[in-house]
Amino acid sequence: MTYSQFRDTQQSFLSSNGTLKYIDKGEGDVLLLLHGIPTSGWLFRKMIDELSNNYRVIVPDMLGFGSSDSPKGYDIYAPQEHAKRLLELMSFLNINSWNHVFHDAGGLWTWELIKVAPEKINALIILNTIIFKEGFNPPIRFKKGIIAKCIMAMYSTGITTNVMLNGLFKTGLKSDTELTQLDIEGYKTPLLEGKTKAMYQFFSNTCNDLPDYTNIVSQLNMPKLIIWGKEDDFLVFDKMKDKVNEFLISSQKNIHLIDAKHFIQEEQPKQINSLILKFLKN
């Protein structure tokens, strides 16, 4: 599948801050797949078809990413604003509750959503996401200001875009995982379109001052599953496992460390799908 073909399958929703693009495929109980930074719904392209044979699968591009709008400003990309727009989208789709799969910075948006609407989530499937300060090792950190904004803008120039993506995937994928040019197209195209403002907000805010979500995480009552690339250098599970066991998941049967690094949807999509489907059917 080319990125152009992927975009052709997306629908549109006008949120309070701009248009969100999303995929809505399949029937039955709802399974939402939430990307992180600097990715989009394209990250889940290898998983959608199989999951949609069993569930109604919703895959949004959050504002500032993928095919969605990238309006001016930076505060509109704060985690609580992403959470607000996600609730708007699900309300628009007449979905009152759903199973929630999330990756990377999608954790920030998820914890903020749970703050205001915990009843919306039936089950959580956690894929290499931001939970605690322990183990949080982002590839980029910037101080706020014009220099960081200029660097972010350079990521849309082509050459610098390639350098950033090559470095990101070299660290975020195992050496035996190779992305084709068609794969890279889906990550590169939004950057070339200038979609870097949401990235700036994350790398200059959250990466320097990660909120403490321990209180939220410790009060989650819904079923929870962790699927984690055990060699992830960005979110190191070994450094957070004690807090995961104490505050999030006490049963080891619902923690699966798989042979992958950070972008596990690229490396082990079939294994992830199998674990998700088994978990939800129990």
The answer to whether residue 250 scores a pLDDT higher than 80 is no
pLDDT digits (tens, 9 = 90+) for 183-201: 999 999 999 999 999 999 9
Query: What pLDDT does residue 42 have?
Result: 98
pLDDT of 158 over the 80 cut: no
What is the percent of the chain where pLDDT is above 70? 100
Instruction: Write down the domain spans for the chain.
Output: 3-139+211-281
Neighbouring residues of 271: CB distance < 8 A, sequence distance ≥ 6 = 258
pLDDT the model gives residue 26? 98
Predicted confidence (pLDDT) per residue in 22-73, tens digit: 999 999 999 999 999 999 999 999 999 999 999 999 999 999 999 999 999 9
Q: Which helix (H) or strand (E) element contains residue 12?
A: strand 11-14
The residues, any chain, with a CB within 8 Å of residue 213's CB and separated by 6 or more, are: 111, 131, 132
**pTM of the predicted model over 0.85:** yes
For residue 7, CA distances in Å to 10, 11, 41, 52, 184 come to: 5, 9, 10, 17, 15
Res 114 pLDDT > 90: yes
pLDDT at 280: 97
How sure is the predictor about 151, in pLDDT bands with cuts at 50, 70 and 90?
A: confident
- Average pLDDT of the residues in 9-25: 98
User: Is 55 strand, coil or helix?
Assistant: coil
Report whether 112 contacts 43 (CB < 8 A).
no
pLDDT at position 93 is 98
- Above 90 in pLDDT, residue 139? no
The CATH H-level (homologous superfamily) assignment of domain 3-139+211-281 is: Alpha/Beta hydrolase fold, catalytic domain (3.40.50.1820)
Please report the pLDDT score of residue 154 as a whole number.
Answer: 82
